[in-house]
């Protein structure tokens, strides 16, 4: 029925394995070998019917089946039901093989079983623990190894157990937890003498001091740091800068500003020009003009040759009086307060301003008659 020529590689492999194990082991295996034959011979049947895609099992399945049959053979020929009707995944097969291996190797050393490292370690611990009870000397190297790997919390550490066993060996008795060696409790209260009383008091004080000193240290250092921080904060509140100058300041006697002149002496520091002119309404006055363009706030320059203030941003121009005449500035420069102080000096007051378009230039505080 089975056409051997059309066997796939996997099937050939499976067959070969079967024969190998059959040849190498007992004649009992013939049963399993013959039982495997129909399984593997099922595959070529659809191949004869020219339906290759329909039935052939995958290589993995065949391999799995072969393994499932082969493993009991290798495990020592136990009569055992097959793990499952359908061949499981590789993982299942491995698990099954391990389970068998574990069962088979009970007498053997645990390290030979094909288990995962974790399992081996766990077994070794369990075995080591039990073995240590029986023969402490033999378990010592193993215990050292595993203890170095991972001491587990819920179990007694191997080291402890080994120590206990050692102690038991030395004392010859059962292992006992070590109690702190102390004085036996006093039977009678002893009334202390005077000398002793002082010493004890000093001792108590010393103890108290020792107990308190960390807190003292901590609190004092913390307060010191807090004090430094508050000082720094206080310093931060007073930044290292030039504070705003007082809005009232003296600019000198009126004779410093002759008629028809513009003094830019205070422009850089105080943002004003001192102007002495009679062009506004025929009256010779000394005024203080704020050096801020009324268009967008740039600082214009006084051009002596052209006798005008000219703004570099958008080209606004102002006469010497501060009245705008060219460019986009919509209104004249602003005057600030000016007056003659008691000592005859001109005093400028920048806290007040006077706008021409609001008719404020007629205010006597906005000019000083030259």
Partner 1 sequence: MNPHPDLTVGVIHGLGWLYLLLFFLNIGWSVRSFKVDGQFEDILGFKHIPKAFLWAGYSALLLLVALVHFAVQSATSAEDFVLRLPEFIKNPADSVIANPISFFCLSIVIYIAIIVLRKTWVKPTVSWILFNLSVLFISVSMTDYDFRRIVGKPDNVPIVGMLFLVGFTTWLFFVKANENDKRLAEGRPVREKELSDQVLVWPDLVYTEMICMILITALLIVWGVALQAPLEEPASAVKTPNPSKAPWYFLGLQEMLVYFDPWMAGVVLPSVILVGLMAIPYIDFNTKGNGYYTFNERPFAITTFLFGFMPLWTGMIVLGTFIRGPNWNMFGLYEYWDSHKLEVLNNVNLSDYFWLTFLELPLPKPDPETSFVSQASSILLREWTGILVILFYLFAIPPLLAVTIFKKFFVKMGFVRFMVLANLFLFMASLPLKMVLRWVFNLKYIVSIPEWVFNI
Rounded to whole angstroms, what are the CA distances from 153 to 109, 120, 145, 150, 231?
Answer: 26, 18, 17, 9, 52
Q: Is residue 100 close enough to count as binding partner 1 by CB under 8 A?
A: no
Closest distance between partner 1 and the C-beta of residue 115, in Å? 50
Closest distance between partner 1 and the C-beta of residue 262, in Å? 15
Stretch that binds partner 1, among 41-49, 125-133, 169-177, 297-305 (CB under 8 A): 297-305
Asked if residue 244 lies in contact with residue 261, where contact means CB atoms within 8 angstroms, the answer is no
Please, what sign has the CA dihedral across residues 320, 326, 329, 332? positive
Stretch that binds partner 1, among 83-91, 105-113, 195-203, 298-306 (CB under 8 A): 298-306
Going by C-alpha positions, the residue among 246, 244, 256 that lies closest to residue 340 is: 256
Give 198 or 264: the residue with its C-beta nearer to partner 1.
264
Q: Is residue 129 close enough to count as binding partner 1 by CB under 8 A?
A: no
Asked if residue 297 lies in contact with residue 305, where contact means CB atoms within 8 angstroms, the answer is no
Q: Is residue 242 close enough to count as binding partner 1 by CB under 8 A?
A: no
Asked if residue 49 lies in contact with residue 10, where contact means CB atoms within 8 angstroms, the answer is no
Q: Is residue 290 close enough to count as binding partner 1 by CB under 8 A?
A: no
- Tally Cβ neighbours within 10 Å of residue 339: 15
Please, what sign has the CA dihedral across residues 60, 63, 68, 71? negative
User: Considering only residues 312-331, where is the footprint of partner 1 by CB under 8 A?
Assistant: 312-315, 317, 325-328, 330-331
Q: Is residue 281 close enough to count as binding partner 1 by CB under 8 A?
A: no
| SS3 letters across 143-177 | HHHHHHHCCCCCCCCHHHHHHHHHHHHHHCCCCCC
Closest distance between partner 1 and the C-beta of residue 306, in Å? 6
Q: Is residue 245 close enough to count as binding partner 1 by CB under 8 A?
A: no
Closest distance between partner 1 and the C-beta of residue 243, in Å? 15
Residue 289 to residue 267: CA distance in whole angstroms: 10
Closest distance between partner 1 and the C-beta of residue 280, in Å? 15
Asked if residue 254 lies in contact with residue 245, where contact means CB atoms within 8 angstroms, the answer is no
Task: Report the residue from 296, 344, 351, 369 that binds partner 1 according to the rule CB under 8 A.
Answer: 296
Closest distance between partner 1 and the C-beta of residue 236, in Å? 24
User: Considering only residues 329-358, where is the footprint of partner 1 by CB under 8 A?
Assistant: 330-331, 357-358
| Helix or strand (DSSP H, E) at 250 | strand 248-252
Task: Report the residue from 109, 183, 359, 364 that binds partner 1 according to the rule CB under 8 A.
Answer: 359
Asked if residue 18 lies in contact with residue 74, where contact means CB atoms within 8 angstroms, the answer is no
Closest distance between partner 1 and the C-beta of residue 359, in Å? 4
Q: Is residue 199 close enough to count as binding partner 1 by CB under 8 A?
A: no
Q: Is residue 8 close enough to count as binding partner 1 by CB under 8 A?
A: no
Asked if residue 287 lies in contact with residue 339, where contact means CB atoms within 8 angstroms, the answer is no
Q: Is residue 249 close enough to count as binding partner 1 by CB under 8 A?
A: no
Give 141 or 315: the residue with its C-beta nearer to partner 1.
315
Closest distance between partner 1 and the C-beta of residue 266, in Å? 10
Residue 11 to residue 43: CA distance in whole angstroms: 8
- Count of residues touching partner 1 (by CB under 8 A): 31
Give 266 or 349: the residue with its C-beta nearer to partner 1.
266
What is the distance, to the nearest Å, from the Cα of residue 273 to the centroid of all Cα atoms in its chain? Answer: 59
What is the distance, to the nearest Å, from the Cα of residue 117 to the centroid of all Cα atoms in its chain? Answer: 34
Task: Report the residue from 86, 107, 305, 342 that binds partner 1 according to the rule CB under 8 A.
Answer: 305
Give 266 or 347: the residue with its C-beta nearer to partner 1.
266
Asked if residue 100 lies in contact with residue 79, where contact means CB atoms within 8 angstroms, the answer is no
Going by C-alpha positions, the residue among 351, 346, 203 that lies closest to residue 275 is: 346
Task: Report the residue from 232, 245, 303, 341 that binds partner 1 according to the rule CB under 8 A.
Answer: 303
Footprint of partner 1 on this chain (CB under 8 A)? 267-269, 271, 291, 295-296, 298-301, 303, 305-306, 310-315, 317, 325-328, 330-331, 357-360
């Amino acid at each position: 029925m089975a056409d051997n020529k059309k066997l796939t590689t996997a099937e050939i492999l499976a067959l070969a394995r079967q024969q190998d194990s059959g040849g190498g082991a007992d004649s009992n295996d013939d049963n399993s070998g013959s039982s495997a034959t129909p399984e593997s011979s099922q595959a070529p049947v659809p191949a004869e019917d020219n339906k290759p895609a329909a039935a052939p099992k995958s290589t993995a399945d065949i391999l799995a089946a072969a393994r499932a049959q082969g493993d009991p053979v290798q495990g020592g020929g136990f009569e055992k039901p097959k793990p499952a009707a359908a061949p499981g995944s590789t993982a299942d097969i491995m698990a099954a093989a391990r389970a068998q291996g574990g069962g088979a190797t009970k007498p053997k050393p645990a390290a030979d079983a094909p288990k995962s490292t974790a399992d081996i370690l766990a077994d070794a611990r369990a075995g080591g623990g039990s073995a240590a009870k029986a023969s402490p000397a033999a378990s010592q190297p193993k215990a050292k190894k595993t203890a170095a790997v991972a001491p587990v919390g819920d179990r007694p550490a191997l080291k402890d157990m080994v120590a206990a066993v050692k102690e038991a060996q030395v004392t010859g008795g059962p292992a006992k937890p070590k109690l702190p060696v102390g004085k036996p409790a006093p039977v009678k209260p002893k009334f202390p003498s005077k000398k002793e009383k002082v010493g004890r008091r000093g001792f108590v004080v010393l103890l108290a001091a020792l107990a308190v000193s960390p807190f003292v240290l901590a609190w004092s250092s913390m307060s010191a740091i807090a004090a430094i921080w508050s000082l720094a904060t206080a310093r931060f509140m007073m930044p290292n800068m030039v504070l705003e100058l007082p809005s009232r300041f003296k600019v000198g006697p009126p004779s410093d500003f002759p008629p028809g002149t513009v003094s830019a002496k205070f422009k850089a520091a105080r943002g004003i020009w001192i102007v002495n002119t009679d062009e506004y309404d025929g009256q010779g006055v000394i005024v203080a003009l704020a050096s801020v363009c009324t268009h967008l706030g740039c600082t214009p320059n006084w051009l002596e040759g052209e006798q005008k203030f000219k703004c570099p941003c958008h080209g606004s121009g102002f006469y010497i009086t501060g009245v705008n005449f060219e460019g986009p500035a919509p209104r004249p420069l602003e005057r600030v307060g000016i007056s003659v102080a008691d000592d005859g000096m001109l005093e400028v007051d920048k806290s007040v301003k006077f706008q021409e378009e609001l008719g404020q230039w007629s205010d006597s505080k906005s000019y000083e008659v030259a």
